[in-house]
Amino acid sequence: MADRVQVIFGDITQQAVDAIVNAANTTLQGGGGVDGAIHREAGPHLVWECRKLGGCPTGGARITKGYYLAAKHVIHAVGPIWQGGTAGEDELLARAYRSVFELVAQQDIHTVAIPSISTGAYRFPIDRAARIAVRETRLFLERHPQLTEVRFVCYDRANYDCYVAEVAEVMGKRSTEGAGGLN
């Protein structure tokens, strides 16, 4: 199972996979960070398709086409805004990952790239978010062999280091940092 997970530095908009995950807001209309970058790269058709979806609740996910992205699909996952850890944030983030993986299974997606959801503008602690992301990924991979590759795409060193550590601990995978990250 560990051979199906990678941690890389990179630009999620450039990942040539079946689906990339967008750290979206509830309106699905784009915003800053990863969300804004994905909307810019995908082009105006993504905005139009997202409008038709009518939003998404926190903890949920919706799927669209990838349009001008290298990925065929975008899975828009809405994570929680950090409020100190007392407002059910961990469960809402876990639910967002489970919603992503439900769509992966339904759409027969084999490769997916995932950013660190809720850790930017939503201020979820990176180490805590990485633990939840990797745990939910492992649970899904144990039951779904059709998902052949999960890439955690990190935009900075802090995210990268947290994800490398969590993948090593949860998946039993040692760091072989190099040209693309943890391989």
Cα 167 from Cα 151, distance rounded (Å): 11
The verdict on whether 35 is a catalytic residue reads yes
Phi, psi of 175 (to 5 degrees): -70, 130
The length of the chain in residues reads 183
Query: Which candidate in 3, 18, 35, 90 is catalytic?
Result: 35
Residues catalogued as catalytic:
35
